[in-house]
């Protein structure tokens, strides 16, 4: 299953769930009505008057149940959709910062960073849960607001390879759209559960006097609601567990594919089975996000039916077919592999450099094959790339103060006089410390290779999420000002700005979030035409006329019967909003659109680094993370 299919499947599952949910609510309304009729029939039977069917009562009860359930669901979905950081904070997670001096914490940060660069997503912040069990979770709505949580037990007890396996599993959840599905699941269940809770409180609050006939009825009503609510939750949990278990197997398989090291994730699972605490968490909030964890995080009284994760031995069996079934933690060989991988890395270094530098001859399918689906080669590449970054630049990307300066530096023009204008702007607009930092970093940043720039942005994006809201607003203003300071906007500046704001607006701007509605067919055509025309005009294809390049894209997108737009007929703002609208497309249409883009990029059978980086930037703003290109 590729990225787009997987995303579609996640969405399809959501649709299925919504149907189940509607069915559940309808049957709950009917049941509640039967209950009310029964209860009041019971009261009236004392006066011997027959009850005609009363539509008013039916409607009232229906609206009441519907209101309760929707309210409960919406409330939960809204609280959880506030981004991954919100969930981590509710779980009492402690943010792990770079350079804290703790070797275990630094190691997990490095593992996450490599994985993120390999997958082409911003580096997610890592939160530490103070629990001795071995577990981890991924939370958030999309890659831009994703966070990773790990327990102290996991970073203390797992070897680097095992951690890598666990983190790869979590990344698969991030990339496959499982987190969005999870949030809807929790929300829907909460709505149904609320009905039961209300019934329960009626039971508690109802007057206990025995001679009152009415109170018997109310108590019965409460009891009935409890039964309906809990029965609904029971079946809801069954669905949730079944969906979740399926996704867990998928994530395990993806983790193996990603790291090509079954021993890593398998070893982690064995260690969980061998440990005393296993994966069981003490935090009471963990029940609600149980299915987001790496491994069953709550003890379940109903056993395997409710388990959100498949049993350990089955998971291990699928990953390590030769496993003997014994939970014996293997001794750590952590030191040895890091040394060998280091020496291997230096051997590979030359090869990597060659692969990255040489303009690759690639088909358009090849370009898209790895979206959301990185492999071990990407992981090795990412590791090497991070290692090759100059120390001061790497350090700057990791602290919020330096990360801003670094992003400013990236948009500095290479021409001296343009650059002076920009620096002059910064000197007046930004505060002294930032300006000094920019001057310090500028030379080093200019010397970076093109392919190092986007990964640096991915690292910096993770750090910039630590800014406070007022700090972000200043940053946003300054970056925009800096880009406009030289009076023109080049391709890289444009894509950098697009990426940075695409990921950070979702975090800081409450209004900008979740507004990616699916565009109409007309708008899709219009927006795609703008995007493709922009690509055609921006990227010169040797020996291929612009019309031919555009026609190549149209071949991929048969429904797009429009003419190439001249560059001066649309401006960058229109391009911006075109991309924003296209981000709302269904994954399978995004796949077609990206194929069209790839067709333009590879029209002359030759793909340069600059072209790849632009394609990655576009794919990124469409929420289709594209790993760095290695042939």
Partner 1 sequence: MTISTIVLLVIVAAVGLWAVSIFNGLVRLRNRYKNAFAQIEVQLKRRYDLIPNLVETAKAYMKHEAETLEAVIAARNAAAKGLSSVAADPSNAGAIAELAGAEGALTGAMGKFSMVMEAYPDLKANQNMMQLSEELTSTENKVAFSRQAFNDQVMAYNTFKQAFPAVIMAAMFGHGQDATLLEFEDSAQIQAAPKVSF
617 DSSP assignment: H
The residue range among 357-365, 397-405, 475-483, 488-496 that interacts with partner 1, by the rule CB under 8 A, is: 397-405
Is residue 61 a contact residue for partner 1 (CB under 8 A)?
A: yes
Nearer to partner 1 (CB atom), residue 68 or residue 456: 68
- Rounded to whole angstroms, the Cα distance separating 618 from 564 reads 19
Is residue 67 a contact residue for partner 1 (CB under 8 A)?
A: yes
How many helices and strands in the chain, by DSSP H and E?
25, 4
- Rounded to whole angstroms, the Cα distance separating 412 from 402 reads 15
Is residue 68 a contact residue for partner 1 (CB under 8 A)?
A: yes
Sheet holding 94-95, edge to edge: 94-95, 126-129, 147-151, 136-139
The three-point CA angle 442-445-447 to 5° equals: 115
Is residue 282 a contact residue for partner 1 (CB under 8 A)?
A: no
Residue of 2, 79, 490, 516 interacting with partner 1 (CB under 8 A): 79
- Please compute, for residue 214, the number of CA atoms within 13 A of its CA located in the half-sphere on the CB side: 2
Nearer to partner 1 (CB atom), residue 57 or residue 334: 57
Is residue 99 a contact residue for partner 1 (CB under 8 A)?
A: yes
Is residue 471 a contact residue for partner 1 (CB under 8 A)?
A: yes
The residue range among 61-69, 311-319, 475-483, 558-566 that interacts with partner 1, by the rule CB under 8 A, is: 61-69
Q: Is 360 helix (H, G, I), strand (E, B) or coil?
A: strand
Nearer to partner 1 (CB atom), residue 441 or residue 557: 441
**Min CB(177)–partner 1 separation in Å:** 25
Is residue 346 a contact residue for partner 1 (CB under 8 A)?
A: no
Tokens of 246: 């399926």
Nearer to partner 1 (CB atom), residue 466 or residue 490: 466
- Rounded to whole angstroms, the Cα distance separating 388 from 352 reads 11
Nearer to partner 1 (CB atom), residue 49 or residue 347: 49
Is residue 107 a contact residue for partner 1 (CB under 8 A)?
A: no
Q: Is 147 helix (H, G, I), strand (E, B) or coil?
A: strand
Is residue 75 a contact residue for partner 1 (CB under 8 A)?
A: yes
Nearer to partner 1 (CB atom), residue 71 or residue 489: 71
**Min CB(391)–partner 1 separation in Å:** 13
Number of residues in contact with partner 1 under rule CB under 8 A: 50
- Rounded to whole angstroms, the Cα distance separating 513 from 525 reads 24
Residue of 400, 421, 484, 592 interacting with partner 1 (CB under 8 A): 400
Is residue 51 a contact residue for partner 1 (CB under 8 A)?
A: no
Q: Is 567 helix (H, G, I), strand (E, B) or coil?
A: helix
Is residue 440 a contact residue for partner 1 (CB under 8 A)?
A: yes
Residue 553 burial (CB < 10 Å; 0-12/13-18/19+)?
buried
**Min CB(93)–partner 1 separation in Å:** 7
Q: Is 149 helix (H, G, I), strand (E, B) or coil?
A: strand
Nearest to 233 by CA among 25, 431, 428, 410: 25
Q: Is 5 helix (H, G, I), strand (E, B) or coil?
A: helix
- Please compute, for residue 502, the number of CA atoms within 13 A of its CA located in the half-sphere on the CB side: 30
- Backbone φ and ψ for 542, nearest 5 degrees, come out as -65, 125
Question: Which positions are catalytic?
Answer: 170
Q: Which of residues 178-197 bind partner 1 (CB under 8 A)?
A: 194, 197
**Which residues are at the interface with partner 1 (CB under 8 A)?**
36, 40, 57, 60-61, 63-64, 67-68, 71-72, 75, 79, 85-86, 89-90, 92-101, 194, 197-198, 201-202, 214, 218, 399-402, 432-434, 436-437, 440, 466-471
């Amino acid at each position: 299953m590729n990225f787009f299919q997987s995303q579609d499947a996640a969405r399809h599952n959501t649709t299925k769930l919504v149907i189940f949910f509607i069915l559940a609510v309808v049957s709950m309304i009917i049941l509640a009505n039967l209950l009310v009729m029964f209860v009041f029939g019971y009261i009236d039977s004392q006066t011997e008057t027959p009850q005609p069917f009363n539509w008013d009562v039916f409607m009232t009860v229906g609206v009441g149940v519907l209101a309760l359930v929707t309210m409960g669901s919406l409330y939960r979905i809204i609280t959880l959709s506030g981004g991954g950081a919100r969930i981590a904070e509710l779980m009492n997670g402690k943010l792990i910062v770079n350079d804290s001096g703790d070797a275990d914490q630094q190691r997990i940060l490095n593992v996450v960073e490599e994985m993120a660069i390999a997958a082409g997503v911003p580096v997610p912040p890592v939160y530490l849960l103070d629990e001795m069990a071995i577990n981890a979770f991924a939370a958030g709505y999309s890659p831009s607001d994703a966070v990773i949580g790990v327990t102290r037990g996991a970073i203390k007890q797992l070897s680097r390879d095992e951690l890598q396996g666990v983190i790869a599993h979590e990344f698969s959840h991030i990339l496959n759209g499982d987190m969005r599905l999870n949030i809807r699941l929790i929300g829907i269940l909460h709505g149904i559960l609320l009905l039961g809770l209300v019934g329960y409180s009626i039971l508690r609050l109802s007057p206990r006097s025995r001679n009152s006939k009415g109170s018997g009825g109310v108590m019965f009503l409460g009891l009935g609601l409890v039964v309906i609510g809990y029965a609904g939750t029971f079946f809801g949990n069954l669905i949730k567990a079944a969906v979740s278990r399926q996704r867990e197997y998928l994530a395990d398989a993806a983790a193996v594919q990603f790291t090509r090291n079954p021993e890593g994730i398998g070893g982690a699972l064995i260690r969980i089975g061998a440990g005393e605490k296993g994966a069981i968490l003490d935090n009471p909030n963990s029940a609600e996000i149980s299915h987001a964890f790496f491994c069953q995080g709550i003890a379940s009284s109903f056993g395997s039916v409710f388990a959100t994760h498949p049993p350990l031995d089955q998971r291990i069996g699928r990953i390590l077919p030769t496993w003997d079934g014994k939970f014996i933690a293997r001794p750590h060989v952590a030191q040895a592999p890091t040394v060998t991988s280091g020496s291997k890395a230096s051997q590979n270094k030359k090869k990597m450099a060659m692969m990255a530098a040489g303009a690759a001859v690639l088909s358009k399918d090849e370009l898209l094959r790895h979206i959301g689906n990185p492999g071990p080669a990407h992981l090795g590449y990412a590791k090497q790339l991070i290692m090759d970054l100059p120390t001061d630049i790497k350090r700057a990307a990791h602290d919020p103060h330096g990360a801003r300066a670094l992003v400013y530096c990236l948009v500095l023009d290479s021409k001296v006089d343009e650059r002076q204008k920009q620096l002059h702007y910064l000197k007046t607009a930004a505060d002294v410390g930032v300006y000094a930092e920019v001057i310090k970093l500028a030379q080093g940043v200019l010397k970076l290779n093109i392919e190092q720039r986007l990964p640096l942005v991915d690292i910096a994006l993770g750090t910039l999420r630590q800014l406070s809201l007022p700090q972000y607003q200043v940053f946003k203003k300054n970056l925009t000002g800096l880009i406009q300071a030289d009076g023109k906007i080049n391709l890289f500046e444009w894509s950098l700005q697009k990426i940075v704001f695409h990921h950070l607006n979702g975090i800081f701007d409450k209004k900008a979030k979740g507004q990616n509605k699916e565009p109409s067919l007309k708008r899709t055509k219009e927006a795609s035409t703008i995007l493709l025309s922009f690509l055609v005009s921006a990227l010169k294809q040797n020996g291929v006329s612009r019309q031919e390049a555009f026609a190549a894209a149209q071949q991929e997108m048969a429904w797009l019967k429009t003419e190439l737009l001249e560059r001066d007929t649309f401006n960058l703002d229109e391009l911006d909003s075109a991309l924003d609208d296209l981000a709302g497309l269904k994954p399978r249409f995004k796949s077609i659109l990206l194929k069209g883009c790839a067709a333009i990029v590879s029209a002359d059978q030759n793909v340069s680094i600059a072209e790849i980086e632009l394609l990655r930037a576009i794919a990124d703003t469409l929420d289709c993370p594209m790993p760095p290109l290695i042939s």
